[in-house]
Amino acid sequence: MIETQDLTKKYGEMFAIRSIQLKLEQGDLFGFIGPNGAGKTTTMRIIATLLNPTWGEAYVCGNSIYTKAKEIRRLVGYMPDFFGVYDDMRVIEYLEFFAAAYRIRGQQRRKVCDEMLQIVDLDFKRDAFANTLSRGQTQRLGLARTLLHDPQVLLLDEPLSGLDPRARIDMRNLLRRLGEMGKTIIVSSHILPELADICNKIGVIDRGVMSVNAEVADVMKQVRQHTVLHIRVRDNSEGAARLLENQDIVDSVEIRKGQIIATLKRGVDDHSGLAELLVQQGYRLTMFREEEINLESAFMALTKGMGATTETPPPPKPQV
């Protein structure tokens, strides 16, 4: 659905983005992570055909940004970080105005606008003036506008920026539903936890260089050096800990507040025999689970040292 090859944009001697390599399939929800000014917006604007690269190539659904810009614009819905609303327009009028720009005519126009309001859960505000909406409601209105022509690809630039906690949750749930509808989505943010639980792929960019571009599961696997188990038994935690400590696949064991923390040796993934062993030895398990690495921890590990120098680094090979 989206592919970029050596995508680069320069302003004078400064690189806005450098050698961006990206490949997304239908239904992917790609979290584009990086600080403000890292190059996220530049990349998205090039994919949307709103900005020409200095060199490199980008394809959307097989269409080149150089030769098929009109076709790409029919396929893409781009939502910028900040967009204006007309103060004297009601919500439904605002959507109908843009639907007309997409050449959606007659009764179909009103039907599409009503459907979009339902999708973004804003139908109760259909007759309110656009300038009376809250920040979260305005963001949902912008997303409804982006969806009017039923694009296959969504480019959403900081859609969670400035939202209160409740509005963030609502927007994340909405993005998850759009992914389930088969939309291919690039959603940018400078705050990783905002995207941690909804994206299946992530890219980390800083000063125009994408240092990480991988499946979330692969990122977790790359960061995790040892599998850690959290275990509780009904009684005699000390005895259970000694039993585990003597197993070949176990590196270390400790007890924290009655819970056994067992760290396995590097490279060991299969720990099914440990639970069976404990049960066979008469221990009654009340908990046996593998410790999860959250995406924020993975991000901090993978980007350790980034930004430590002001020099422009050479483009690294993306980690996969």
pLDDT surpassing 90 at residue 179: no
248 vs 171: which has the higher pLDDT: 248
One DSSP character per residue, 235-280 reads: S-HHHHHHHHHTSTTEEEEEEETTEEEEEEPTT----HHHHHHHHH
The pLDDT value recorded for residue 161 is 79
In this structure, what DSSP letter does residue 173 have?
H
Give per-residue pLDDT as tens, 108-118.
999 999 999 99
What domains, with CATH codes, occur in the chain? 2-215 (3.40.50.300), 225-290 (3.30.70.100)
Residues 89, 130 contacting (CB under 8 angstroms): yes
For residue range 227-240, what is the model confidence (pLDDT) as tens digits? 889 999 998 999 99
Q: How confident is the model at residue 212 (pLDDT cuts 50, 70, 90)?
A: confident
Q: Across the chain, what does the average pLDDT equal?
A: 86
Dihedral sign computed on CA atoms, order 9, 14, 16, 20: positive
Amino acid at 201: K
pLDDT for 312 equals 41
Please compute the mean of the pLDDT values over residues 245-266 and round it to a whole number.
92
Residue 190 has pLDDT above 90, yes or no: no
What per-residue confidence (pLDDT) applies to 301? 63
Which whole number is the average pLDDT over 16-34? 92
Q: How confident is the model at residue 310 (pLDDT cuts 50, 70, 90)?
A: very low
298: pLDDT strictly greater than 70? no
Is residue 279 over pLDDT 90? yes
In whole angstroms, what is the distance from residue 148 CA to residue 117 CA? 10
Q: 71-97 pLDDT, tens per residue?
A: 999 999 999 987 777 778 999 999 999
- Residues 151-176: what's their mean pLDDT? 86
- In this predicted structure, the answer to whether residue 141 has a pLDDT above a threshold of 60 is yes
Rounded Cα gap, residues 249 and 227, in angstroms = 10
The model's pLDDT over 61-78, given as tens digits with 9 standing for 90+, comes to 999 999 999 999 999 999
